[in-house]
Amino acid sequence: MKKFLCALVAVSWLAMSPAQAAPREDVLKLRDDRPKEYVVVKGDTLWDISARFLESPWRWTDVWDMNADIYNPHLIYPGDVIYLVWENGKPVLKVRRGIRKLTPQARVEPLDQAIPAIPLKDILSFLEEARVMDQERYKEAPYILAGKNERLISAAGDRVYARGAPLEELRRQVVYRATNEYIDPDSGEHLGYELTKVSDVTLEDEQGDILSLVVNRSVLETRSLDRVLPAEEHRVQSVFYPQPSPADLDGKILSVLGAVNDGGQFDVVALNRGLREGLEAGHVFAIYRTGEKLVDPVTKELLQLPSERSGLLMVFKAFEKVSYGLIMQSSNVVSVGDEIREP
């Protein structure tokens, strides 16, 4: 499944139409140390390869040549050679196919060997199961009382009880646990709870406000006070169109998921901006590390040093007030409170 998603991302990114890949107003910049050509190796991503040639890796589609003479020109495979040429005064990246052995029975190049746009393995679990919910709706959800025989911890196959009215009358429900509370560091607004999936359950019976549930599949042990929410019917988004973030929109990093305060390349971070600010999957931000505070040795004033650019991230999942982004590049530690700005 992961291999299929990787191939799908590669197809979708490189096959974007001109309307989808709107040109940037700024000037496309090539790296001074760019290679004349690059041989693709297993483990590369399109972002990695683009970063060897371009200062702005997400602008791959601005310079990619869709050569109609090449079978599957939108896919890149290990062994292919990427090289830069100039056409009509503009840089163009082209591909020269490497040698790949195909069996006589299957004259089709294997899609699952094409390199992905970004490392999906680092975000797949967040794409499938991540959820952020606002405070009011979360507190309205039924909460786990205990398991059968008053056990406080339950696993697959056990019966558990909850109290409250289901948010939606569906047999398929999911138990979640609030693992983080997001508060906007500037305004103090409550942005929602980060929810971790605990188990899939079936709603079997309702007696007044007491719900009888059977645990079908456990990710974690179901505990007292976990919340019961309706199962979401959605398709995993695995297609991304990298693009610069909305003009003049900045924000801050709320959390480094799976870490205490700091992260680096390919870590997932939560941002204090979401759908209501116009964010969507594919938006790219520059990360700025917050400058240190120090005391002026002469005047004894407390000074704030300027922030310094420390990396790039791409949004891959947006909720109403919060978004998740993947750190694509980092030249320094990325910490909670760091700023995000237009790239």
Provide the percentage of residues in the chain whose pLDDT is more than 70: 80
Q: Per-residue pLDDT for 226 more than 70?
A: yes
Which pLDDT tens digit goes with each residue over 36-64? 999 988 888 888 888 899 888 888 777 77
In-domain check, residue 108: yes
Domain that holds residue 167: 130-230
Which pLDDT tens digit goes with each residue over 261-313? 899 999 999 999 999 999 998 899 999 998 889 999 999 999 989 999 999 99
Same domain, 140 and 209: yes
In-domain check, residue 333: yes
Q: Per-residue pLDDT for 107 more than 60?
A: no
**238 falls in which pLDDT band (50, 70, 90)?**
low
Give CA–CA dist 131/280, Å, rounded. Answer: 15
Phi, psi (rounded to 5 degrees) for 197: -65, 135
Secondary structure E strands in 62-118 = 81-87, 90-96
How many domains are there within the chain? 3
Give CA–CA dist 325/339, Å, rounded. Answer: 13
The length of the chain, given as a count of residues: 343
Same domain, 27 and 102: yes
CA distances to 34, 67, 79, 251, 284 from 185, rounded to whole Å, are 40, 48, 47, 10, 21
Alpha helix positions (H), the chain: 2-14, 46-53, 60-63, 124-129, 135-140
Same domain, 97 and 147: no
Two tokens at 166? 């289901």
In-domain check, residue 238: no
Give CA–CA dist 5/268, Å, rounded. Answer: 19
In-domain check, residue 123: no
CA distances to 122, 139, 191, 275, 332 from 132, rounded to whole Å, are 19, 13, 9, 12, 28
At residue 127's C-alpha, the angle toward residues 280 and 232, to 5°, is 95
In-domain check, residue 236: no
Kind of pairing, strands 323-330 and 308-318?
antiparallel
Amino acid identity, position 123: I
In-domain check, residue 237: no
Query: How much is the mean pLDDT over the chain?
Result: 81
- Specify whether the CB–CB gap between 172 and 202 falls below 8 A: yes
